[in-house]
Amino acid sequence: MGGRTPIEPQRVDAPLTSSATFLVLSVKLDDDDAINTVRSTLASVEGLSKNVSIRDLNASFACTVGIGSDAWDRITRQPRPAELHPFREFHGKKHSAIATPGDLLFHIRAQRRDLCFEFERQLLDSLGDAVSVIDETVGFRYFDVRDLLGFVDGTANPVGPAVTESIVVTEQDDAASAGGSYVVVQKYVHDIAAWRKMSTEQQEKVIGRTKLENVELDDAPDGQQQSHKSLATIEDDQGEEHDILRDNMPFGSPGSKEFGTYFIGYSRKLWVTEKMLCRMFIGEPPGMHDRILDFSRPLTGTTFFAPSATQLASLGDS
C-alpha cells in the first residue's frame, strides 16, 4: 500500500517532486572535530530523513547525499570511486563550463516545500560550524515539467529497468563503489529577454523538440549545427547509447529578474556526463556549440559521488 513507508535512503531514482533544495557545502577538512561531526551526521541522514518524511508519507520526501573529490578521502577513509575527480572544465570558442568548489551535496526533494525546509534546518543544526554553505538553490516544478524556457525537461531520461542500468555502479564496474552513482551539478541562469525575441520555430530548432507537443525533431545532417537534444545524446565508440538521469528544476525570482535551471545528472559512468558537456560547450563538430548556451550561462560546476546507503551509514562506525 502506498504511503506506508518512507522512500529508501540514497534513492537516486526517487520520484520527481514539486519542490527541491540543492545544498552544496564546504567542510573544514583540516579540522578533526569537524570531520567527525560530518561523518556522524552523514551516517545519520537516514534517521533525519525519517524524522521529516513521517509527517507526510505521501509527499515523497527523499534526500541523496553526494561527496566531492577533494573531501572523499578525508571524510570516508574508504577506496575512491574509480572515476571520481574534480569537475572537468570545458572551454569552447564562445562558452565555458566552469568548475566551482563543493565538498558535500544534499539533493533534497518532496511534494511539499516545508518538508525540504525542515530537513535542511535539522541537517545544518547537526553539522554546525563543521561546514559552510557554498550554494543553496530552491527549485520548483513549472507547469507540466517544463523549464523556464518553456520546453518540457527530462524527456530523454531512462525508464523502467534502464534507470538502474544507467545510473547505478555495479560490482563489475567498481566493487568498492557498487550501488553508488556519479553526480554532476550546474546552476544555469537564462537570458529570458533574448530567448523570447526568437520565434517559436527558432527556439524549437535550438532545443530539437516542438514546444507545445514535445515531439522530437529530426537530427541535422552530420557536420551541421546540432540541436541541444542531439548534442546531449551520448554514444560510445561501438555506437551504443548511454543515458543519464536528470532531475533538473527551475529556480528564480521575477522580482530579481533571475530565471534559471539547476542541472543535476546522475550516471553510472562519469564519462557519459562529461562527454555530453564536451559536446555542448566545445561543439560537435568542434566550434558548433549547443546554441542553448547563447541563452543559458553556468554559474557553477561540481562533481560528486553518491555512495550506497550502506556505505554512507558505515561512516558512523568508529
pLDDT of residue 188: 98
pLDDT surpasses 80 at 264 = yes
Please confirm, yes or no, whether 13 is among the known catalytic residues. Answer: no
Q: How confident is the model at residue 3 (pLDDT cuts 50, 70, 90)?
A: low
pLDDT surpasses 70 at 46 = yes
pLDDT of residue 4: 64
Residues facing residue 138 across a β-bridge: 21
Residue 276 located in a structural domain:
yes
Q: In the numeric block, which cell numbers belong to residue 205?
A: 530548432
Distance between CA atoms of residues 241 and 252, nearest Å = 33
Spatial neighbors of 66 by CB under 8 A, at least 6 apart, are 104, 105, 106, 107, 183, 304, 305, 306
Lowest-confidence region among 29-43, 218-232, 267-281: 218-232
Residue 265 located in a structural domain:
yes
How many domains, the chain?
Answer: 1
The upper half-sphere exposure of residue 305, i.e. CA atoms within 13 Å in the direction of its Cβ, equals 30
* Residue 39 DSSP symbol: H
Pick left, alpha or beta for residue 91 (phi over 0 → left; psi -120 to 50 → alpha; otherwise beta). Answer: beta
Residue 123 located in a structural domain:
yes
Residue 14 located in a structural domain:
no
Residue 4 located in a structural domain:
no
Residue 163 located in a structural domain:
yes
pLDDT digits (tens, 9 = 90+) for 53-100: 999 999 999 999 999 999 999 999 999 999 999 999 999 999 999 999
Contact criterion met (CB below 8 Å) for 120 and 305 = no
pLDDT of residue 135: 98
Contact criterion met (CB below 8 Å) for 25 and 295 = no
Q: How confident is the model at residue 1 (pLDDT cuts 50, 70, 90)?
A: very low
> Residues 103, 147, 153, 243: which is the catalytic one?
153
Residue 6 located in a structural domain:
no
pLDDT of residue 317: 82
Residue 267 located in a structural domain:
yes
End-to-end CA distance of the chain: 38
Contact criterion met (CB below 8 Å) for 65 and 104 = yes
3-state SS record for 201-236: HHHHHHHCECCCCCCECCCCCCCCCCCHHHHCCEEC
- Other residues' Cβ atoms within 10 Å of the Cβ of residue 118: 18
The upper half-sphere exposure of residue 5, i.e. CA atoms within 13 Å in the direction of its Cβ, equals 5
* Residue 265 DSSP symbol: E
pLDDT digits (tens, 9 = 90+) for 105-152: 999 999 999 999 999 999 999 999 999 999 999 999 999 999 999 999
pLDDT digits (tens, 9 = 90+) for 248-260: 999 999 999 999 9
- Containing structural domain, residue 263: 19-316
Place of cell 560537435: 284
Q: Mind giving me the DSSP string for 50-112?
A: HHHHTT-GGG--EEEEEEEHHHHHHHH-SPPPTT--SPPPEE-SS-EE-----SEEEEEEESS
Core vs surface per residue 239-276: b (16+ CB within 10 A) or e: eeebbbbbbbbbbbeeeeeebbbbbbbbbbbbebbbbb
